[in-house]
A and B are shown apart, each in its own frame.
Chain A
Amino acid sequence: MGLEVVKVLLKAAAGGLFVLLFAALAEMIAPKRLAGVFSAAPSVALGGMLVTAALSGVSDVRQSALGMTIGAVAFVAYCLVGVPLLKRWGAWKGSSAALGVWLAVAVAGYLVVWP
Chain B
Amino acid sequence: MTNDLRGDHDDRDDRDDHDDRDDHDGSGGDRGRSDERRDDDEVRLAPRELGRTRPRDWLIRFAFGAGVSALAGVVATVAGPRFGGLFLAFPAILMASLTLVAKKESVRQARNEARGATFGAVGLFGFAAVTAAALAGRWPLWAALAAATAVWAVLSLGCYLLARAFGAGGDEPPAG
Chain B CB within 10 Å, residue with most, of A4, A12, A58: A12
Chain A binding surface SS class: helix
Shortest B36–chain A CB gap in Å is 11
A72 is contacted by which of B43, B64, B83, B125 (Cβ under 8 Å)? B125
**Residue on B with the closest CB to A45?**
B88
B89 is contacted by which of A29, A39, A75, A92 (Cβ under 8 Å)? A75
Residues of B within 8 A of A34 (CB): 43, 116, 160, 169
A7-B113 in contact (CB<8A): no
B114 is contacted by which of A23, A47, A86, A96 (Cβ under 8 Å)? A86
Query: Does B123 belong to the interface (CB within 8 Å)?
Result: yes
B53-A32 in contact (CB<8A): no
A91-B128 in contact (CB<8A): no
Contact count band on A = 35 or more
Residues of A within 8 A of B122 (CB): 72, 76
B12-A35 in contact (CB<8A): no
A69 is contacted by which of B15, B129, B156, B171 (Cβ under 8 Å)? B129
B170-A19 in contact (CB<8A): no
B90 is contacted by which of A17, A23, A33, A71 (Cβ under 8 Å)? A71
Interface positions of B from 55 to 82, Cβ below 8 Å from A: 58, 61-70, 72-74, 76-77, 80-82
Interface positions of B from 1 to 37, Cβ below 8 Å from A: 4-9, 12, 15, 35
